[in-house]
Structure 1
Amino acid sequence: MLKAPPRPTGRSDEEQDVGSLLRSVSGVRWGELRDATGAAAGGIPPLLSRIAYGDEDTARIAIDELGDAICALGFVVSEATAPTVPLLLELAGSPQVAWKVELLGLLGNIYRTDQWHSAAASTQGRKHDASYQQQTGWEAAARAAVYAGRSVIEGVASSIWPEEATPARKLLQVMDDTPPFPER
């Protein structure tokens, strides 16, 4: 049985420079967005930075806090979710970020969300039906953003480290098995 080689402890010249992670975070107008708690989304960039550059405890706490901000309760997304997804994919695809399992889990939660679509379907034809239009758009945009990063997830799924590859393969399966949102 072949064993995976040990993980490198240092960076080679070919590896992505850690300082180049999350450069596109400044291109998002975080102050104009709301997170899943209803708060301004300005707290998301520091959480992403803590995931990218923090020690184990710092990064794990930041992932939990970020999950609350962009996918509350594991199934409620917000307008800040879709702009955050490419940054999560960047982190998940980076050789320097060790929290791939947690990041893939969060991406899976985002992809599966249908809370707003379900609520809209239950009120269809009633007075409150139009009130869910914006939220269903958030879900559709978030799911599309995860799907747009499929090549990153496929890259992680081909990892020689099963602890990374297995959750990535599960996320790919979720992406293949989740039905599209119904037409409204």
Structure 2
Amino acid sequence: MGSLLKGVSGVRWGELRDARQLPAGDIPPLLSRIAYGGEDTARLGIDELGDLVCALGFVVGEATASTVPFLLELAGAPQVPCKAELLELLESIYRTEQWHSSAAAAGVPKRTSFHEQPPWEIACRVAVRAGRPIIEGLASSVRPEETEPARKLLRTMDEVPPFPKI
């Protein structure tokens, strides 16, 4: 995959499920399109990837946390366009509480169908938080199109705890 995204091949994407509960094998080519395509290609790739890792803007899947480090890598790479869109996707991933809300409403001890999903949300938040140095670097950028979304994500990370209660 080039100098960016070297670790993508080390993830067993075919064994993971995306936010639609389908095999996550479409994620690596989209990451590559974002990394190596032009601005229009990257923008479309981010939009398509958003559907796979944060469906409807608020549902994450098993593969989402594995995708976050690559989103952070792309956001921090100088040659990658559409950093604002990447940061907005990361914020959506961080804010996700769909499975936690559903588990709380269902009463987890009585219904176990939500057993796996809440940890996915926690893993996503932990993964986004691990990229804080990259986000802080973008927040101090001279480009306002990068600065504001990065600062917004940092505020979200400060306001929303990493471990929501069920």
Deviation at 1:102, TM superposition (A): 0.2
List 4+ stretches of structure 1 deviating above 2 A: 179-184
Q: For residue 13 of structure 1, what is the aligned residue in structure 2? A: none
Gapped runs of 5+ residues in structure 2? none
Deviation at 1:182, TM superposition (A): 3.7
Q: TM-score w.r.t. structure 2 length?
A: 0.95
Structure-2 change in CA distance of 1:151 and 1:110 (3 Å): same
Deviation at 1:37, TM superposition (A): 1.3
CA RMSD of aligned residues (A): 1.4
The answer to whether the aligner puts 1:52 opposite 2:35 as a matched pair is yes
Q: For residue 26 of structure 1, what is the aligned residue in structure 2? A: 9
Indicate the SS of the match to 2:91. helix
Deviations 1:75-128 (A, max 9, x none): 000000000000000000000111100000000000000000000111116632
Identity %: 67
Indicate the SS of the match to 1:110. helix
- Between structure 1 and structure 2, the one with the greater Rg is 1
Q: TM-score w.r.t. structure 1 length?
A: 0.86
Give the whole-Å Cα distance in 2 for the aligned partners of 1:63 and 1:117.
Answer: 25
Deviations 1:24-62 (A, max 9, x none): 101100010010112110110000000011122211111
Indicate the SS of the match to 1:131. coil
Q: For residue 153 of structure 1, what is the aligned residue in structure 2? A: 135
Aligned length, in residue pairs: 166
- 8 Å Cα contact 2:58-2:96 kept in structure 1: yes
Pick one of 162, 175, 178 that aligns with 2:144.
162
- 8 Å Cα contact 1:117-1:181 kept in structure 2: no
